[in-house]
Amino acid sequence: KQEVTQIPAALSVPEGENLVLNCSFTDSAIYNLQWFRQDPGKGLTSLLLIQSSQREQTSGRLNASLDKSSGRSTLYIAASQPGDSATYLCAVRPRSGGYQKVTFGIGTKLQVIP
Amino acid sequence: GAVVSQHPSRVICKSGTSVKIECRSLDFQATTMFWYRQFPKQSLMLMATSNEGSKATYEQGVEKDKFLINHASLTLSTLTVTSAHPEDSSFYICSARGTDHYNEQFFGPGTRLTVL
How far is A10 from B36, CA to CA, in rounded Å? Answer: 23
pLDDT at B1: 64
Pairing of strands A10-14, A108-113: parallel
pLDDT, tens digit, 9 for 90 and up, residues B35-74: 999 988 888 999 999 988 888 999 999 999 999 999 888 8
Backbone angles phi and psi of B29, in degrees to 5 = -95, 120
CB pairs under 8 A between A and B: 48
Closest by Cβ to A43, choosing from B1, B57, B107: B107
By the CB < 8 Å criterion, does B109 face chain A? Answer: yes
Distance, CA of A62 to CA of B84 (rounded, Å): 41
Q: Write the residue in A43, A91, A106 that is nearest to B109 by C-beta.
A: A43
Find the residue in A nearest to B37 (Cα).
A43
Whether B91 and chain A come into contact, CB under 8 Å, resolves to: yes
* pLDDT per 10-residue tile (average), chain A, 114 residues: 93 97 95 93 91 95 96 98 97 84 93 97
What are the tens digits of pLDDT across the range B16-27? 999 999 999 998
Cβ of A45 under 8 Å from any chain B Cβ?
yes
Cβ contact, residue pair A49, B109, below 8 Å? no
Question: Reduced to 3 DSSP states, what percent helix, strand and coil does chain A have, rounded to the nearest 5?
Answer: 5, 60, 35
Sign of CA dihedral A39, B96, B3, A22: positive
Chain B residue with CA closest to A98: the answer is: B103
What would the mean pLDDT of B88-114 be, rounded to a whole number?
Answer: 87
Of B51, B53, B57, give the one whose Cα is nearest residue B97: B51
Q: Please report the pLDDT score of residue B103 as a whole number.
A: 62
- Are A44 and B34 in contact (CB < 8 Å)? no
Whether A61 and A79 have beta carbons less than 8 Å apart is answered as yes
Residues of B in contact with A105 (CB under 8 A): 43
Task: Report the residue from A4, A41, A99 with minimal CB separation from B105.
Answer: A99
Confidence band (pLDDT; 50, 70, 90) for B113?
A: very high
